[in-house]
Structures are given as C-alpha cells and as structure tokens.
Amino acid sequence: MTQYDTQKEFEEVMHNCRDLFEKKLHDYGTAWRVMRPETMTDQLYIKAARIRSLQMKGCAQVDEGIVPEFIGIVNYSIIALIQLTKGVADTEDLPVDEALKLYDDQAHKALSLMLKKNHDYNEAWRGMRVSSYADLIFMKIFRTKQIEALNGKTLVSEGIAANYMDMLNYAVFGLIKLTIENEE
C-alpha cells in the first residue's frame, strides 16, 4: 500500500503556484487589485471552461495544457480571497511584499482547511478523476455566480469565500494527481 504525505504534496504544489504568482507580480504588479469579485469569478470560469474543453476534446490548439490552468485557478482563487478581504481598489495600492504575505496567509488557510477535510474524508480525493475536480470547480463557479446574483444573501449555503477556497483546494488536488500521473 502506498503511503502518502498529502501535506507535503500540497505544499509543493502551492510552492510552484506561489513562484508563478511572484513572477507575475514582478511583471504586472498588483493590477488585479482593481478587479471586482464578479470579475474574479468570471476569470475562474474561463480557466475551468478551458480545462473542461481540453479534457473533452482531448487536444489543444494553443500550446498550453491543463496544468497551467489549474495553477491559474489556485492563484486566481487566492487573489479573489484577498479581494474579498481587502475590498476592491481603484489603483495598484498594494506593495508586492504585502501581496505575497496575503497570498501566504490564504495558502495557509487553504492548507489548514484541506487537512481538516482530508482527515474527515480519509483521502477520498485520491480515488477521484482529474476531470471530476474540473467539474466540481465548474459547479462551484456557478454556485458563486448565483450567490453573487443574490448579493450574498443565502439561506443555508456557505458564502463566496468558502466556494473560492474549495476551488483552490480542488485545483491543488488536480495538480497533485497530474504530478503523480506524470511520474508513473
């Protein structure tokens, strides 16, 4: 029986995502600070739709695969969580070092949530297909859009932040599974 170190795998994936985030901060700064939550949800929609399209068609015409899209979902989910916490700005008002700290804070929260859920679900995500993570992210996007249409006034559902966090974690699971598949 294979012994897994889910925390280590999660941290390795998050390290790669953060590395790209930091490089993009260098290139673009914090221009994303002007994006409203609804725009973040639509950006996540684009990433998830491309993953599903590539999975269903089995090929790509643009030379970028599924992995960069899952990384994009991780990073845009964290940006969305930062935006929910800080609010939307009219300018790049966030120094790079603060943006990285906020990123790390959200990544730590995601890891903590994953460890709690993984304990309760007993590594069930490992038995899932990567296509299922894409579908679950897609569903979470539609749920988020519905909550946004309700101006956040739900009766029994988790809020927008919980959906962003779930999307982030599903994307990390997808990246872990794709890494394992590539190594085998």
Read off the pLDDT of residues 44-77 as tens digits, 9 standing for 90 and up: 999 999 999 999 987 767 767 899 999 999 999 9
| pTM for the full predicted model | 0.94
Q: Is 86 helix (H, G, I), strand (E, B) or coil?
A: helix
CA atoms of 123 and 110, how far apart (whole Å): 16
Share of the chain above pLDDT 70, in %: 97
Region of 129 please: left (phi>0), alpha (psi -120 to 50) or beta.
beta
Radius of gyration for the alpha carbons in the chain, expressed in angstroms and rounded: 16
Residue 1: per-residue pLDDT = 44
CB 160 within 8 A of CB 144: yes
